[in-house]
Amino acid sequence: MRKQIAAANWKMNLTLQQGEALLDDIIAKPHQLSAHQQAVFAVPFPYLTMAQQKIAGKQNVYIAAQNCYSKKNGAYTGETSVEMLQSIGISVVVLGHSERREYFYEGNDLIAQKINICLEYNITPIFCCGEALNIREAGIQNEFVAKQLEESLFHLNAEQIQKIVIAYEPIWAIGTGKTATSAQAQEMHAYLRSVLAEKYGAAVADNISILYGGSVKGSNAKEIFSQPDVDGGLVGGASLIADEFVTIINSLK
């Protein structure tokens, strides 16, 4: 079975003390991860070491960075390299989030460079893709999202692409309270898998986890995750509430 993943994206939220308390609360609550399930916490850069210490010894629980730079090292003030992340035990990085694309003008080419350097350092990228409301309303969401995959991922070989986790985030459903129906999520996830299958073959495509990232919460996670091509979620606001995120973890199939 493909990896089923509940990934928390804290974004630019919480103080150190609040982050510590949240992790303590989540860890203390009853939840169990099977061998094919993972919980991932993408925390702000200053909290990575704290979070690593909190989850030490926990099975199938990982701390992720919310971004990285495309170069190994050098005069890039304010940036964080994958070498730095690897040195503190980080093995997952979120790349291409819609907020990085919108506010920091990150394009598919730059994200491809970040994908490459993560794989070079054996760090798993969670590659985000998805369309804004105007793209959805124009009915060209499939072509738009396929282009994101093609320009950022399709230079990879079959072995490399299976090291990627994809997160589909309908931008119109992030932080708006709007949520794609489970049928809409399944439709796009199935389409993404078909694009991967056309390039790499069905066996490879069936081995790639595709997460849904659009206003997932405890009340809708089980229905969304039950869809055959939805392999968990990349969760924003609800991941900042312990009870909510534990419910989401427990909703993985």
Question: Which positions are annotated as active-site residues?
Answer: 97, 169
How far is 165 from 170, CA to CA, in rounded Å? 16
Q: Which residues pair with 40 in a beta bridge?
A: 7, 62
Contact indicator for 192, 166 with CB cutoff of 8 Å: yes
Reported residue count of the chain is 253
For 74-145, list the strands marked E by DSSP. 92-95, 124-129
Question: Is residue 220 helix, strand or coil?
Answer: coil
Q: Token pair of 198, please?
A: 């056309």
Question: Is residue 190 helix, strand or coil?
Answer: helix
How far is 110 from 108, CA to CA, in rounded Å? 6
Q: Token pair of 151, please?
A: 């320009």
| Residues 6 or more apart in contact with residue 50 via CB below 8 angstroms | 16, 19, 20
The phi, psi pair for 244, rounded to 5°, reads: -65, -50
